[in-house]
Amino acid sequence: MSKSKSINKELSVAAIKEGTVIDHIPADASFKVAAILKLRKDPNMVSIATNLNSKSLGKKGIVKVSNKNLTEEEVNKIAVVAPNATVNIIKDYKVKEKIKVNLQKVIENVIRCSNPVCITNHESISTIFNVEKENPLQVRCHYCERVMGKEDIKLIG
């Protein structure tokens, strides 16, 4: 317990020189953000922190990726799990740009369809979901038309 606490503390203050810092992730969503961005296979230095104290969220998560500027498309994909996240592009230890994530109307290849008899679970094609409501999140599968709420949403991979 005390050990993990100290690791978190270290990470929360560790600054990166170049790269991207994603802040204000819900406490339980840091690993999901990392999964959506496929950071497990990323050769750069990646830090994933959860359960950090936050004034606005109570607990929050942070994900940092060195030497990599995320594209807007990548950033928007994480809106499914972290709708209020801010993305800081870091240059020479300074925040060069702040991007608010923006939930797109169509979410491609991020969510898995919860319908076992949906064609997307049987044929290797990208999933496509149309966002019907943002808060709370409600999406509809482009193929089988099933409506999924936040609690049904499972990520691909």
Partner 1 sequence: MNFKNHDIISIYDFSKEDILYILKTAKKMEKRSNPSLLKNNIMATLFFEPSTRTRLSFIAAMEQLGGKVTGFANSKITSIKKGETLWDTAKMVEQYADLIVIRHHLEGSARLAAEASSKPVINGGDGSNQHPTQTLLDLYTIQKSKDTLNNLHVGILGDLKYGRTVHSLAIALSHFNPIFYFISPDALKMPRNYITELREKGIRIYETPNLLSVSKKLDILYVTRIQQERFPDPLEYEKYKGVYRLDSSLTKYVKKDLKIMHPLPRIDEIDKSLDNTPHALYFEQAANGIPVRKALISLVLGKIR
Shortest gap between Cβ of 141 and partner 1 (angstroms)? 7
Closest to partner 1 by CB, 44 vs 121, is 121
Q: Return the residues of window 78-137 that contact Zn ion according to CB under 5 A.
A: 113, 115, 118
- Residue 64 burial by Cβ neighbours in a 10 Å radius (0-12, 13-18, 19+): buried
Q: Return the residues of window 112-151 that contact partner 1 according to CB under 8 A.
A: 115, 117-120, 122-125, 141-147
The CA distance from 132 to 129, in Å, is 9
Shortest gap between Cβ of 133 and Zn ion (angstroms)? 17
- Sheet containing 138-141: give its strands across: 106-108, 128-133, 138-141, 147-149
Closest to Zn ion by CB, 65 vs 113, is 113
> Applying CB under 5 A, which of residues 52, 65, 79, 141 lies at the interface with Zn ion?
141
Total chain residues near Zn ion (CB under 5 A): 6
The CA distance from 76 to 52, in Å, is 23
